[in-house]
Amino acid sequence: RALERGDQATYMSEVRKMPNTFEEAVMSTASEGAFSNLMVTLAERLELLKAGVYKETVVRGRLQWTEDKDSPVVFVPSRNGPWQMVKSYASPAGGASVTFVPNRVNDTGMLVPENTDQFGIGVDPYSKRHTTGSIGSKGGIAVFRKFDPVNVLHTDMFVAVYKHRPATLTAFYEEVLKACWYFGCQFLHEDNVSGIEEYALSRGYARFLYHIPGRRTGGITSNVKTKPRMVSFMEGYIQECIEKIYFMDLIEELMAYDMENSHPYDLAAAAMIALMMCHRSRSDGIGMWGTYDDMRDVERVRREMLDISVFYR
């Protein structure tokens, strides 16, 4: 009756109390959230992950230096580890993954990442002073495998995430550097909170900082102009690639994400920053997420890459 009268608020209240369908059970969870129009899509994916897909695909663990700092990094499985990683990207048998090209040191002694064409990392750092209620904000890290037209099914996806608040900010910065070393790529961070860029520079990781074209420093500022753009990227990604999201924590944050009060959603923010960093690999290939992509275009790009490769044999 409330819906017939056009009383949306009363109708939503009734739905929350007595949902009749699965769609009604989830439609009110974040009726004013940034992704409320995709609530059913997100909820269905979350239920599928809970049913066993997450356990089959993802492993928890820690990233650790093999020796001292700035040595090769390995992934060590641990039930209570802060990292979650798609199993195919976890280092096998405790050794470095054979699928990544090792980082190198150039002639000037500077560390250089070797897999920037494959991966990008979004980072949402936290401030010691910032809390949500009585709980301190956490740091979020999201690793994205860039689109590859030769391997469409297993790229264009998040492959590792981290959401934790270690005892010190330095410990969080170390997690970022370990992820950069492990995947051999750059990171883009939200620069509303200072510290991480200075730390990376002091450790010799200047080449691991991603610079948005036109900016002299690394990082991206989260404000009323950039947030809608990041949300737009994620909205398109959800519409087209929801079956490639394997992390329940990420989906839960996206379901609740609020642009007006985004501080509690560290992992969602890190994931959107990663998309901002990596979207060129997608748009230069078959178009942005959420647009109509003819699979023949994927095949065309793949053939062109194969044709070009003959000149490098």
- For position 216, what pLDDT does the model report? 82
Residue 95 domain-assigned (yes or no): yes
CA distances to 1, 2, 139 from 79, rounded to whole Å, are: 49, 48, 20
Residue 51 domain-assigned (yes or no): no
Residue 219 domain-assigned (yes or no): yes
CATH number at residue 222: 3.30.420.240
Contacts of residue 104, defined as CB under 8 A and 6 or more positions apart, other chains included, come to: 111, 112, 114
Q: Provide the domain count of the chain.
A: 1
Contacts of residue 282, defined as CB under 8 A and 6 or more positions apart, other chains included, come to: 146, 147, 156, 288, 289
The one-character DSSP state at 260 is G
Q: What range does the domain containing 236 cover?
A: 57-312
- For position 305, what pLDDT does the model report? 41
- For position 34, what pLDDT does the model report? 87
Residue 11 domain-assigned (yes or no): no
- For position 20, what pLDDT does the model report? 54
CA-CA distance, 188 to 170, in Å (whole number)? 17
Residue 15 domain-assigned (yes or no): no
Residue 16 domain-assigned (yes or no): no
pLDDT per 10-residue tile (average), the chain, 313 residues: 50 52 50 85 96 97 91 92 95 58 79 93 81 64 94 93 94 96 94 88 94 87 89 94 97 93 92 93 73 49 42 33
Residue 23 domain-assigned (yes or no): no
Residue 28 domain-assigned (yes or no): no
Residue 92's Cα: distance from chain center in Å?
22
Residue 152's Cα: distance from chain center in Å?
18
